[in-house]
Amino acid sequence: MFTGLVEHIGTVSAITPLDTTASGGSGFSLTIAESAPILGDCHVGDSICVNGVCLTVTEFEPEKKGGWFKVGLAPETLSRTDLGELQVGGQVNLERAMAPTGRYGGHVVQGHVDTTAVVKAVTPDGNSLRLDFILEKPSAYLVPKGYVTLDGTSLTLTHVSPRGHEFGIMLIAHTQEKVILPKKKPGDKVNVEFDVVAKGVERIVCNILGMSVSGNEGGAEGGSLSALEEMVERAVERALAKRGVGA
């Protein structure tokens, strides 16, 4: 479990294809250097959130080359995130798993990426920075002033389009210095994790009402929206049945 408060920015120093010792199969491994600040209490098997993805440490060295650690990327991880597009020299957001005695300054982040979004626009606003994004499929989990996790960063939504396929966030000056989002340009991808509370509420409500859950990343068309339509249809059918109308 994470909080979405990025602790440090590391640098990809090596990408090793088909590294079965780390990925366990047909994926590959990432070696992330310049990460000593988060390795002081590290152990093999620990979880570290890398650009919003919960990954397992398979090797690490806290002192050499500014400190480095290795993680494996399985095919499932590659299919759901943009980590497969990283290159040597690229920077990544890093956060250690939440300690039970710590504070949740962000929100509950699982490190389980739901989908990716594309940067639509980057607009300066005083000393702040506004970023707009486009999702491949609309989402019912995005709520203005609600939470979203982008590349592992807990952020507040400033606006959401009516259909939920576009949204925006704002970065204050302090945050701009601590995360990699300000380096993104229109057309770049980011990893997106929707608020786990929103996903849980949807499942509970749909189970109570006997409706299908969206079952995909973010309640795409035919998902959460169709569940609402199904609820309305049932209400109409009951009303018609009371009046003896219908088949």
Other C-beta atoms closer than 10 Å to the C-beta of 97 total 14
Catalytic residue (one of 97, 112, 212, 226) = 112
The reply to whether 56 belongs to the active site is: yes
Catalytic residue (one of 33, 54, 140, 220) = 54
Catalytic residue (one of 26, 121, 156, 235) = 156
The reply to whether 174 belongs to the active site is: no
**SS3 at position 77:** helix
The reply to whether 81 belongs to the active site is: no
Catalytic residue (one of 11, 16, 56, 158) = 56
Catalytic residue (one of 11, 14, 16, 47) = 47
The reply to whether 23 belongs to the active site is: no
The reply to whether 16 belongs to the active site is: no
Which neighbouring-strand residues pair with 149?
A: 154, 193
The reply to whether 47 belongs to the active site is: yes
Catalytic residue (one of 11, 14, 16, 74) = 74
The reply to whether 54 belongs to the active site is: yes
* Inter-residue contact 150 to 195 (CB < 8 Å): no
Compute the chain's Rg from CA coordinates. Answer: 21
* Alpha carbon distance 208, 199 (integer Å): 14
* Alpha carbon distance 205, 12 (integer Å): 42
* Inter-residue contact 195 to 141 (CB < 8 Å): yes
Going by C-alpha positions, the residue among 167, 165, 117 that lies closest to residue 139 is: 165
Q: What residues act catalytically?
A: 2, 47, 54, 56, 74, 112, 156
